[in-house]
Amino acid sequence: MGDAYDGSRSGDAFVRAVRQVSKKPEMAGSAGEESGGVEGCEDEILRDSVAGVNERSMGCGDIKTEDSSEVVSTVKMEDSSGYGMKREGVDDSLKFVSSLTLEEENVARVVPGRAMVVKFFPTTEMRMVAVGNKYGNVGFWNMNPKEEEGDGIYLYRPHSGPIGGISIQPHNIGKILTCCYNGFVRMMDVEKEIFDLVHASDDAIFSLSQRPNDGSCLYFGEGRGGLNIWDLRVGKSTAFWALHEDRINTIDFKSQDCFVFATSSSEGTARIWDLRRMGSKSLKVIEHERAVHSAYFSPSGSCLATTSFDNTICIASGDNFEKTSHISHNNQTSRWISSFRAIWGWDDSYIFIGNTKRAVDVVSTTQRKTVMSLQSPYMSAIPCRFDAHLLEVGVLAGATGGGQVYTWTSP
């Protein structure tokens, strides 16, 4: 880690902060050691974990908010006649989302150049994000650093190509997995202070993911449409499937069923799969006219949201995701900005996505349209990649083409 460090000040404070949290009793142990890979998914453990998250995520509508004259962000709300919806008519959940604010201290340039991915550390012990950029850097921002730690930003360069994905498991935040377009997967082991080489390929690796509560297996999109399953315990691939005709941009597992996952591809489709039936066809195919940059399950797992360069967001719902609705949204980004990827908030009500006018659009899943835009004078660039904090309702991060991170919070 010392050789890969690229920051202006020592990274010792980052190492100390992560070590302190990772040694907490609730972080001890590895669910991956108990799960035994694909064949050993512990449904009981998974249900307990999901229940814990849902206790935090399902209460958005019950949170009381107050208007404040000091709020620096603005919110535009739309109805069929344009901007002008009255606040009195907005439901409680929408009121909560509209209360999100961007404060000056919650803006920082974490990495140089275009951000490719942003991820919150899944813990309430500290508020920290990891950001990967197009140059192979991975930056970390501790938003509540101690006074002697300066701005809390720590920069590493473990890769030589664009970062395709970052994975941080809740049970072991001291081991951070990253992949890059140059074909490498590395694990940052903060305890040992090293970047382990997990896998090297002649093909690009565009995305990676892990199943909930399974730290033993890694799933990554390799080459033109391939999905590689890598067992971290034995250090080898256990399966490889050709799922698409072009690159896999995202891989997302359904939190309520650890065998079901969704992939998005530049071939113009998103597909839902079952690990127990990989010899057969996909469970569902969602078609777009152009490349699909993301496909994410909602917190309840009942919906799937896809984002495409054809200027639509598609929401699939129903028992078998048979109901699809395409929502118009301008997804045309320049070569200097990463493609938009719509993400879910803390329940199934709203989706967040970037706006080319330096704002965050909020899309209602029931009204099937953009109902508001989060804006702020502190937002000087277009946010393109987002993450909603898994354990803190009302904490949303957006990263830009210039490596800035904006963190919206509830009052």
Rounded to whole angstroms, the Cα distance separating 95 from 66 reads 10
Rounded to whole angstroms, the Cα distance separating 331 from 154 reads 31
For residue 186, what are its two tokens? Answer: 């590395």
Q: What are the pLDDT digits (tens) for 175-227?
A: 999 999 999 999 999 999 999 999 999 999 999 999 988 889 999 999 999 99
For residue 212, what are its two tokens? Answer: 């909930």
Give the C-alpha distances (Å, rounded to integers) separating 326 from 19, 118, 306, 317, 343.
44, 26, 9, 12, 15
- Give the residue with greater pLDDT, 252 vs 95: 252
The whole-number pLDDT of residue 56 equals 34
For residue 210, what are its two tokens? Answer: 């892990």
According to DSSP, the β-strands at 260-265 and 172-180 are unpaired
The DSSP H or E segment spanning 19 is: helix 12-22
For residue 238, what are its two tokens? Answer: 């256990």
Summarize the confidence of residues 96-118 as an average pLDDT: 96
- Give the residue with greater pLDDT, 54 vs 302: 302
358 phi-psi bin (left φ>0, alpha ψ -120 to 50, beta other): left
Rounded to whole angstroms, the Cα distance separating 224 from 308 reads 18
Rounded to whole angstroms, the Cα distance separating 409 from 100 reads 5
Contact call for residues 378 and 72 (beta carbons, < 8 A): yes
Confidence of residue 27 (pLDDT cuts 50, 70, 90): low
CA 256 from chain center: how many Å?
17
DSSP H helix total and E strand total for the chain: 4, 30
CA 299 from chain center: how many Å?
12
Rounded to whole angstroms, the Cα distance separating 106 from 7 reads 20
- Count Cβ atoms within 10 A of the Cβ of residue 300 and give its class: 0-12 exposed, 13-18 middle, 19 or more buried: middle
Summarize the confidence of residues 97-126 as an average pLDDT: 96
Q: What are the pLDDT digits (tens) for 340-396?
A: 999 999 999 999 999 999 999 999 999 999 999 999 999 999 999 999 999 999 999
The whole-number pLDDT of residue 280 equals 82
Model pTM?
0.85
Let me know the angle formed at the C-alpha of 104 by 98 and 108, rounded to the nearest 5 degrees: 110
Summarize the confidence of residues 123-137 as an average pLDDT: 96
The whole-number pLDDT of residue 25 equals 59
Q: What are phi and psi of 18, to 5 degrees?
A: -70, -40
Let me know the angle formed at the C-alpha of 37 by 385 and 292, rounded to the nearest 5 degrees: 30
CATH node for 12-409: 2.130.10.10
For residue 91, what are its two tokens? Answer: 């439901």
Confidence of residue 42 (pLDDT cuts 50, 70, 90): very low
Q: What are the pLDDT digits (tens) for 57-86?
A: 332 233 233 333 333 344 444 433 232 233
Q: Residue 191's CB: how many other CB atoms inside 10 A? A: 13
Q: Which residues contact 40 (CB under 8 A, 6 or more apart)?
A: 34
With H, G, I as helix, E, B as strand and everything else as coil, classify residue 258: coil
Rounded to whole angstroms, the Cα distance separating 393 from 43 reads 25
Q: What are phi and psi of 47, to 5 degrees?
A: -65, -40
Chain mean pLDDT for the chain:
85
Cα atoms in the Cβ-side hemisphere of radius 13 Å centred on 40: 13
Q: What are the pLDDT digits (tens) for 337-356?
A: 999 999 999 999 999 999 99
- Give the residue with greater pLDDT, 321 vs 63: 321
The residues with which 19 forms a beta bridge, in sequence order, are: none
| Most confident by average pLDDT, 22-36, 58-72, 165-179 | 165-179
Nearest to 339 by CA among 264, 254, 242: 264
